[in-house]
A and B are shown apart, each in its own frame.
Chain A
Amino acid sequence: MEGLERIVLAHPFFAGLEAELGQLVSGCARNLRFDSGKYLFHEGDAANEFYLIRQGSVALEILPPGQPAVVFATEREGDIVGTSWLVPPYRWRFDARAVELTRAIGIDARCLRDKCEADHHLGYEMMKRFLPVVVQRLDEARLQILDVYGKQDKRS
């Protein structure tokens, strides 16, 4: 097993992935390093890659007009960054910034999309892994917009 393939399969997101599928995914992978403050991508850019975080942390931000950026999530070692590559128009909907030195595996999105299209078994496997992440983030977003710690939180 090649070094990159081993790293990809060791990431929690790909835990238990069949070796053959692991080879296909790893064929789209590259090693990346982001220094603190460096942006992985910006809102509106083409979503050509997603990231398996191996070390460090990444802040996901939205920039309200005329105001400082608002960080709405941080992703850490073992997490993935980026699901916009899954659905047209394949554009990022927020900024992603390395909070500290961050090492990641970047997966070329077009490469993986093409492989998923050609091999629906791989495509279904990817969907089974991405859908829980998307659902979990939807749940988290719901909890955040409820602003449960606002004035109505009377606990004391």
Chain B
Amino acid sequence: MTTGMDPFIPHTYRVDRVRRETRDVTTLELAPMTGERPAFQPGQFNMLYVFGIGEVAISMSGDPAHANSYVHTVRNVGAVSGAIAALQAGAMLGLRGPFGTAWPAEAAAGNDIVIVAGGLGLAPLRPAIYHVLAHRERYGRVAILYGTRSPRDILYHGEIERWRRRLDVDIAVTVDHADPTWHGNVGVVPKLIQRIDFDPRNTVAMICGPEVMMRFTATALLGAGLSSDCIYLSMERNMKCGIGLCGHCQFGPYFVCKDGPVMRYDRIADILVVREI
């Protein structure tokens, strides 16, 4: 969070642009009503506040290098996210942040990069993808694997097409099920790992998606020879204060809002499988 700002006071932002991604997913571009938006790192999140309804943690999904706006991709799953998804251009909302830890995009320079996204998990990874592609020469091989429910649930369709046209990135998309008109991959995203080329001794993996999908993916990466300290996950819990005070997002010895959402797999592997946590 930016030094000197009270983390509990939301700042007013205006919805500049709205894009309907799928039947229940919307991307909003938000601009501050006054001043500059604070800088953020790929992987961090903001608390978005719909006046009179409530507040929810949403990861940034835009380019951190882009000027004065935040981009958030929201799925309509409840009262607050539904209200955010229904906002039109020109609407106002409150925003606190940025909060949380970041993907190791810069620290991973010199390594192969494997990015694995499941469902809406592509949104929190997109800023890291922008960073890696903008500094492509700093990395070895780069693979982006994306799995989602069905062809009509594919996020950022046009952008994935553009990434796919690049000759220096391996992109693979798979869906859990499809009708016969779909000519792409069908199957779960961890299966794609065996189809890409990377050096397991010099690879950093970043995974974001439903927790079960991340566990299966981490297992597949370990099976491919990656070390558990080179695998990063973005965790999700019930974030409220955003600064590690209220305890709502406690995850074993960690607070996800402060010690996460991006966490190294070797540090959380044991507690990931504890039912009570």
Seen from chain A, the residues whose Cβ lies within 8 Å of a Cβ on chain B are 59-61, 68-74, 76, 78, 97, 99-100, 136, 139-140, 143-144, 146-156
**Residue pair A148, B186 in contact (C-beta under 8 Å):** no
Contact between chains at B216 and A149 (CB < 8 Å): no
Closest-CB distance, B45 to chain A (whole angstroms):
9
Which of B177, B178, B186, B209 is close to A155, meaning CB atoms less than 8 Å apart?
Answer: B209
Whether the pair A147, B121 counts as a contact (CB closer than 8 A) is no
Interface segment out of the listed B86-94, B106-114, B187-195, B252-260: B187-195
Residues on the B chain within 8 Å of A150, using CB = 149
B73 at the interface (CB under 8 A from A): yes
> Which residues on the A side are within 8 Å of B119 (C-beta)?
148-149, 153, 155
Chain A neighbourhood of B210, CB < 8 A: 148-149, 152-153, 155
Question: Would you call A69 and B179 a contact (CB within 8 A)?
Answer: yes
- A74 to B119, alpha carbons, bound, how many Å? 19
Q: Which residues of A contact B58 (CB under 8 A)?
A: 156
Q: A72-B177, A153-B75 are in contact. Are A146 and B186 (CB under 8 A)?
A: no
Q: In this complex, what residue of A is CB-closest to B194?
A: A78
Q: With A59-B186, A149-B118 known to touch, is A156 a contact of B81 (CB < 8 Å)? A: yes
Q: Which A residues touch B81, using CB under 8 A? A: 154, 156
Determine whether B101 belongs to the interface, using a CB cutoff of 8 Å to chain A: no
Q: Tell me whether A71 and B179 are in contact (CB under 8 A).
A: yes
Give Cα A149 to B146, complex, Å.
12
A139–B216 contact, CB under 8 A?
yes
In the bound assembly, the distance between CA atoms of A73 and B72 in angstroms comes to 32
**What chain A residues lie within 8 Å of B234 (beta carbons)?**
155
B21 to chain A, nearest CB (A): 10
A71:B182 contact, CB within 8 angstroms: yes
Residues of chain A with a CB closer than 8 A to B25's CB: 156
B208 at the interface (CB under 8 A from A): yes
CB contact between B176 and one of A97, A139, A144 (< 8 Å): that residue: A144
CB contact under 8 A between A156 and B179, given known A73-B186, A76-B195, A149-B149: no
Query: Which residues of chain B have C-beta atoms less than 8 A from A149's C-beta?
Result: 118-120, 147-149, 153, 176, 209-210, 213
